[in-house]
Structure 1
């Protein structure tokens, strides 16, 4: 049985509405959701990165997933709205508070950097409006090789007919470039009425130009790959130093020998 995921439930500050969103997602059959904190840095002054609220404070008891006997898994996600290269800080410690890290670039140069160099999990595509720039296959394939996925959201198409046309056209443009690889479809819902069931989303992806198989991967396998990529991004930052332990029989344990003192200290620490 497939594990469905929605990696974009927009955090608006209304905890009651957020609880309804999570409960609706669980009722529709989603096993994993991500609460998305949208961060728009100020170019003139250094805006601090928001800290996510503890899951236990938002939802004390996670609801049970429909058709499964386990509670829904809730992740925290940060999306950086980028209009300048300084908005992404590679060594920012606050990024580690989030399970997933995404960026939404506004220019072709930022899009290229996000695809080729940024240590992120998702690249958000603004499909609900006219594309601010056009991109080519080379940076997209570079992102795919690094395991970075592209996200298309559908909730804006529910709110407005004009955005619906843009969403369909832009999603088809991207699916034609990436051929459905590493493409994630999420809701970006702010209210419970804006989220749709996973099978409805799979049908919607066919309007995006995806095949039936790619449409299913967009809400299952590709989402799981993004979650695993986020886990490795948070943990793959350590350094291991190894050295050969000296043989005690070959060490001169003389009290006056500085090398012997260092060797005894190494042996003591090793034991």
Structure 2
């Protein structure tokens, strides 16, 4: 799935349709999301703790073996599957197209991060780069602090919505530091709709996050849907955001503006290109040179000169 973000056609995003190993169930959820009016849909492969076995994660209802087979449990480096491939032609997008919108599907990987080793692995893992978005589930404050400094490869920070022990939810400074770095935070509502016993803690955590982010700045709201009953239409989701403590006039941004920002960040990271020119040390301008002389020497580098000319042309085109 390639990010093909189109500014003037974006309206609502569902940032978390969970893939649990059944393609039929996934396609049913996608068709329902399209009928509800979501034009950007993120398919989430949640592998949890990468130390676990992939088959166990994607097929949690399967009966575990009586004996652990040799090699059954894989290393972290081998625990990340390929993104799910979906045939968009199997989805009826007429409703969206009639409203001038285009369906865009994105792939997302969600991983539990508990230590710096996992962070380092995700930063350099080739499988991670196959996904459009990367989300990390964090429980420890120290991990969040690390991501606030080195999290440019992460798009979304999420957490166990039902947990009563997420200490960093009360650390607004660290949370807003991550948001300032471009990372979004996630709240999912599906579990709050299923079970009254879970609902209270989920609401408590969500409201605390909204307080810490000053009304939901940098927060995306999604379903985390695994079943049809878990998914709600965009305006129902907006009303749920109000229950989570967001002002009604600000609630739309959690499935629109904030979601759009997260998708744009992912797109910019995947499409950003640069050029590196390697020179010997004696060709590097000395500090003793004045700015004009140093610039003249840099302009002798073809790559640098081409980049300057490109920027000049873009600037002139903007003025015209």
The question of a shared fold, defined as TM-score above 0.5 by the shorter chain, is answered with yes
Higher helix share: 2
Which residue of structure 2 aligns with residue 255 of structure 1?
none
Within 1, Cα distance between the matches of 2:223 and 2:301? 55
- Quickly say closer, same or farther: Cα 1:222–1:65, change in 2 above 3 A: farther
Instruction: Give 3-state SS (helix, strand or coil) of 1:93's partner.
Output: coil
Q: Is the Cα–Cα contact under 8 Å of residues 152 and 184 in structure 1 kept in the other structure? A: yes
Query: Residue 65 of structure 1: CA displacement?
Result: 6.0
| 190, 205, 210: which one aligns with 1:155 | 190
| 22, 28, 46: which one aligns with 2:76 | 46
Q: Is the Cα–Cα contact under 8 Å of residues 96 and 102 in structure 2 kept in the other structure? A: no
Within 1, Cα distance between the matches of 2:34 and 2:180? 32
- Quickly say closer, same or farther: Cα 1:66–1:115, change in 2 above 3 A: farther
Within 2, Cα distance between the matches of 1:224 and 1:124? 17
Q: Is the Cα–Cα contact under 8 Å of residues 65 and 71 in structure 1 kept in the other structure? A: no
- The reply to whether residue 11 of structure 1 matches residue 19 of structure 2 is yes
Which residue of structure 2 aligns with residue 212 of structure 1?
248
Deviates more, 1:211-220 or 1:1-10: 1-10
Which residue of structure 1 aligns with residue 218 of structure 2?
182
Within 2, Cα distance between the matches of 1:65 and 1:81? 37
Which residue of structure 2 aligns with residue 267 of structure 1?
none
Which residue of structure 2 aligns with residue 249 of structure 1?
none
Instruction: Give 3-state SS (helix, strand or coil) of 1:210's partner.
Output: coil
Q: What's the Cα RMSD here?
A: 2.2
Within 2, Cα distance between the matches of 1:189 and 1:122? 17
Moved over 6 A (4+): none
Which residue of structure 1 aligns with residue 56 of structure 2?
none
Q: Is the Cα–Cα contact under 8 Å of residues 31 and 65 in structure 1 kept in the other structure? A: no
* Runs of 5+ unmatched residues, structure 1: 247-271
* Runs of 5+ unmatched residues, structure 2: 1-8, 53-73, 278-297, 303-320
After TM superposition, the score normalised by the length of structure 2 is 0.71
Query: Residue 29 of structure 1: CA displacement?
Result: 0.6
C-alpha distance after superposition, 1:7-44 (max 9, x if no partner):
10001011111001000001111001000011221189
Which residue of structure 1 aligns with residue 207 of structure 2?
172
- The reply to whether residue 238 of structure 1 matches residue 271 of structure 2 is no
| 93, 99, 112: which one aligns with 2:132 | 99
| 145, 155, 173: which one aligns with 1:121 | 155
C-alpha distance after superposition, 1:78-131 (max 9, x if no partner):
111122222222122212111111101121111222233122111113222313
Instruction: Give 3-state SS (helix, strand or coil) of 1:53's partner.
Output: coil
Q: Is the Cα–Cα contact under 8 Å of residues 10 and 190 in structure 1 kept in the other structure? A: yes
| 115, 123, 126: which one aligns with 1:84 | 115
- The reply to whether residue 34 of structure 1 matches residue 42 of structure 2 is yes
Which residue of structure 1 aligns with residue 295 of structure 2?
none
CA radius of gyration, larger in: 1
C-alpha distance after superposition, 1:185-236 (max 9, x if no partner):
0000001221001101111111111112321000001111100100112233
- Quickly say closer, same or farther: Cα 1:55–1:161, change in 2 above 3 A: same
